[in-house]
């Protein structure tokens, strides 16, 4: 008996230790990834330095141009053509997004910086052309003085705009580093908290309780054996034996119910882990699509737009080129849509109400179906897990209403206050019969993801109800206990 208890306890211990080890390894891997990303952000300092150097080079070239035009000797031994070449190359590389120095540095630019480079480009070209004119030995004195006048007139504007670009680079770099540091702290705290909760609230109680159940089952079996022996020895002890049998049966029922409850709890924990893993994987895919494929497609679009100024030998070539540009734009839009569906940024930034409203608008545009959002304006945010769970339920319900119910009008109602939290999705589709138990209907329900919605509601400790009649639409309601962030 003791040997059986020890075997079961050791087996459960190995299982949970393996689970804890896997969680720890994944957490450390995530932390190392964030550390490496933060290290990459340090390269932004080099970009800021080069952008700042452009201001110094501009002033130095202006000084040398002035001295050269006026014929004044200077102790500055720097090569005017070399400085001009360095200034021009640095500007071009900053504008194109790649610095080539001791190694290649990627210049991460926002749309605002792109616009600032577009605004400064005419000023740069004006100063650069004038500097080239001054450096030209065959230029006349009048031409050089005209070029110098152009430089002196354009330089203040260039310095002011370049100064704004430098500060914008520095601001965006600081914001990225600050954001990643916050993610690192949240990830570290969440991982440690998960490990502590699993160790103290799951591992030890489950092992102890399982040992007790096994011991009690073994004792019950032994009691039954003794009762059977007593029955064989004397019929006089029949009444006592029967009472013991009844007691034993009650103990077995209680043990079976306890075992079923444990299995149900384990299933809930497993389902929660799977859903959490799915959301994390969606979040990672959305990040990779947006930061990887999205950026590459944007770069491809910019490169394609630069080719528009090139003349084509035949009109049909120009038409095919325009069609290619439209296809690139469609791919970019599809990529953004896919990234948003995986993990909408508006959900984390503005909360569930804004995310549901955006989902309704987006679904209406893409499907042509009337989707109405009704919600209360409440600044109290729910926890991230609750918000993403409710958002996925709304997504699934909308998808079912469009693809399976063939609805023409869908209403999303979101109510959140200090006393209640209710999400309702109602459509005017063809509906279905909840009483049907046929295989075909069960397949339809599985396809529509009803079980997935029920699982998510159960994980949120909420209640999900589905009301539907054939040709009279469907109404999905999720009601949660009082939950605030």
Highest mean pLDDT, choosing among 13-22, 97-106, 142-151, 315-324: 142-151
pLDDT of residue 306: 66
For residue 331, being part of any structural domain is answered with: no
pLDDT of residue 442: 44
DSSP states of 383-443: PHHHHHHHHHHHHHHHHHHHHTS--SEEEEEEEE-SS-EEEEEEE-S----TT---HHHHH
Question: In terms of Cα–Cα distance, which of 289, 363, 361 is closest to 332?
Answer: 289
For residue 280, being part of any structural domain is answered with: no
Domain boundary among 185, 214, 233: 233
Distance set, CA 247 to CA 216, 241, 256 (Å): 12, 10, 14
Number of folded domains that form the chain: 2
pLDDT value at 432 more than 70 = yes
The answer to whether residues 335 and 294 touch, using CB atoms and an 8 Å cutoff, is yes
Least confident segment among 1-10, 66-75, 321-330, 397-406: 1-10
Question: In terms of Cα–Cα distance, which of 276, 219, 281 is closest to 252?
Answer: 219
User: Are residues 51 and 198 located together in one domain of the fold?
Assistant: yes
Which CATH number fits the domain that encloses residue 384?
3.30.565.10
Compute the average pLDDT of residues 437-453. Answer: 56
Compute the average pLDDT of residues 432-438. Answer: 61
Compute the average pLDDT of residues 82-88. Answer: 88
pLDDT value at 446 more than 50 = no
Question: Encoding tokens for residue 459?
Answer: 């994980």
- Per residue in 354-400, pLDDT (tens digit) is 888 888 888 888 888 899 898 876 667 788 888 888 888 988 888 88
For residue 429, being part of any structural domain is answered with: yes
Average pLDDT for the chain:
77
Domain boundary among 210, 233, 256: 233
pLDDT of residue 485: 46
pLDDT value at 113 more than 60 = yes
DSSP states of 270-332: HHHHHHHHHHHHHHHHHHHIIIIIIHHHHHHHHHHHHGGGSPPSSHHHHHHHHHHHHHHHHHH
Q: How much is the pTM? A: 0.40
Highest mean pLDDT, choosing among 160-164, 342-346, 379-383: 160-164
User: Are residues 43 and 179 located together in one domain of the fold?
Assistant: yes
Whole domain around residue 51: which residue ranges? Answer: 1-233
Domain boundary among 202, 233, 264: 233
Q: Whole-angstrom Cα distance, residue 373 to residue 353?
A: 9
Least confident segment among 101-110, 318-327, 408-417, 465-474: 318-327
The answer to whether residues 352 and 390 touch, using CB atoms and an 8 Å cutoff, is yes
For residue 400, being part of any structural domain is answered with: yes
Label residue 461 by pLDDT band (50, 70, 90).
confident
For residue 249, being part of any structural domain is answered with: no
For residue 146, being part of any structural domain is answered with: yes
């Amino acid at each position: 008996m003791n040997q059986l208890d020890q075997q079961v306890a050791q087996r459960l211990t190995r299982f949970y230790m393996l689970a804890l080890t896997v969680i720890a390894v994944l957490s450390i891997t995530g932390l190392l990834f964030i550390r490496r990303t933060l290290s990459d952000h340090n390269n932004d300092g080099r970009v800021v330095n080069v952008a700042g150097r452009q201001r110094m080079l501009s002033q130095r070239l202006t000084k040398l141009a002035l001295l050269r035009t006026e014929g004044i000797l200077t102790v500055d031994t720097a090569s005017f053509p070399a400085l001009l070449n360095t200034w021009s190359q640095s500007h071009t590389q900053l504008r194109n997004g790649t610095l080539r120095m001791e190694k290649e540095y990627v210049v991460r630019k926002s749309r605002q910086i792109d616009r600032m480079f577009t605004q400064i480009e005419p000023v740069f070209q004006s100063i650069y052309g004038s500097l080239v004119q001054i450096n030209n030995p065959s230029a006349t004195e009048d031409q050089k003085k005209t070029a110098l006048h152009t430089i002196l007139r354009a330089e203040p504007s260039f310095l002011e705009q370049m100064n704004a670009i430098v500060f914008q680079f520095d601001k965006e770099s600081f914001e990225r580093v600050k954001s990643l540091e916050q993610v690192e702290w949240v990830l570290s705290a969440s991982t440690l908290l998960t490990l502590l909760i699993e160790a103290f609230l799951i591992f030890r109680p489950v092992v102890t309780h399982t040992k007790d159940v096994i011991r009690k089952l073994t004792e019950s079996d032994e009691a039954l054996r003794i009762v059977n022996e007593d029955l064989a020895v004397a019929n006089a002890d029949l009444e006592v034996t029967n009472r013991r049998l009844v007691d034993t049966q009650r103990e077995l029922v209680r043990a079976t119910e306890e075992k079923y409850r444990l299995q149900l709890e384990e299933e809930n924990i497993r389902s929660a882990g799977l859903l959490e893993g799915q959301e994390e994987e969606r979040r990672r895919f959305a990040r990779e699509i947006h930061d990887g494929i999205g950026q590459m497609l944007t770069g491809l679009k910019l490169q394609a737009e630069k080719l528009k100024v090139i003349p084509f030998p035949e009109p049909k070539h120009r038409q095919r080129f325009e069609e290619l540009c439209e296809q690139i734009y469609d791919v970019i839009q599809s990529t953004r849509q896919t990234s948003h569906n995986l993990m909408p940024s508006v959900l984390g930034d503005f909360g569930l109400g804004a995310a549901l409203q955006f989902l309704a608008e987006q679904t209406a545009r893409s499907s042509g179906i009337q989707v109405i959002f009704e919600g209360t304006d409440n600044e109290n945010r729910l926890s991230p897990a609750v918000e993403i769970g409710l958002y996925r339920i709304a997504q699934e319900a909308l998808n079912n209403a469009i693809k399976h119910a063939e609805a023409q009008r869908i209403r999303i109602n979101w109510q959140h206050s200090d006393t209640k939290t209710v999400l309702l999705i109602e459509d005017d589709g063809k509906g279905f019969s909840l009483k049907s138990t046929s295989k075909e209907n069960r397949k339809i329900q599985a396809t529509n993801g009803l079980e997935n919605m029920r699982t998510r509601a159960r994980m949120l400790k909420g209640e999900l109800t589905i009301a539907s009649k054939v040709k009279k639409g469907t109404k999905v309601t999720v009601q949660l206990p009082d939950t605030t962030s």
